[in-house]
Amino acid sequence: MSASDQAFRALREQMRELTALTTALGQAFEASSMERRIVTSAVRIAGVDGCSLYRRDGDWLHFRVVKSVTLGLMVVSDFGDDGVFRPVSLLAADGSPSTEAVSARTVAENDVINVSDVSRLPNFDSSRVARFDQRMGYDTRSILSAPVTFRGGQPLGVLQFVNAKNAVGNHVPFSGTHVQLARSLAAMLGMLWTLEP
């Protein structure tokens, strides 16, 4: 099979998955099961190793779903205040918006943050990522973080991809296609959360 045939087949599968998500979103749904479905689909569609979903509660981001292919991990809600999945503060010590964590910066800027190498990002505290990696035996290289909004409003949460990979499994930077996909899935989540009963 040629490279163009493989690319077309991958695109067709991505479109099929996005169509299924859109259809499911338009039907009766339960929010937490749709969150899991969107995160799981995001990993497959985007060809990434991991995906996390945070939901905003006041000045905090709380994990809702965490999925990692490498770690064989699928964790859902109720993470508590301890450990590697503790909430992320949206405020710095002086009360200003926090921009140290990628997820917090995503909320503060209400825009996509694309980090090709977490160890080389200026004005970013990578200690949280380092603690996660050490505790879980992981190697976070790249992060793509998109705000979850509804109709361009204030962020309701964050959808975050981790470690983009190419067809042979090597780490690669996140592309413009990844950014578009993250925006689309984040918009679905924004609609889900805004319209949930």
pLDDT at res. 78 = 55
114 membership: H or E segment, kind and range: strand 113-115
Within the chain, where are the H helices?
3-26, 31-46, 102-109, 127-136, 176-195
Would you state the structure tokens that stand for residue 161, as one six-digit string?
Answer: 């991809």
CA pair distance 131, 134, nearest whole angstrom = 5
Taking CA atoms, 170 is separated from 49, 141, 174, in Å, by 11, 11, 12
pLDDT at res. 6 = 56
pTM of the model: 0.86
Per-residue pLDDT of the chain (197 residues; tens, 9 = 90+): 665 555 556 656 766 777 777 777 767 568 888 899 899 999 988 889 999 999 999 999 999 999 999 888 777 665 655 667 889 999 999 999 998 889 999 999 999 999 988 877 666 777 778 888 888 889 999 999 999 999 888 999 999 999 998 878 888 999 999 999 999 999 999 999 988 76
Q: Could you tell me which of 118, 103, 86 has the C-alpha nearest to residue 160?
A: 103
Taking CA atoms, 68 is separated from 96, 105, 153, in Å, by 32, 22, 29
CA pair distance 31, 189, nearest whole angstrom = 9
pLDDT at res. 113 = 94
Q: How many residues comprise the chain?
A: 197
pLDDT at res. 42 = 92
Contact call for residues 9 and 16 (beta carbons, < 8 A): no
CA pair distance 104, 124, nearest whole angstrom = 10
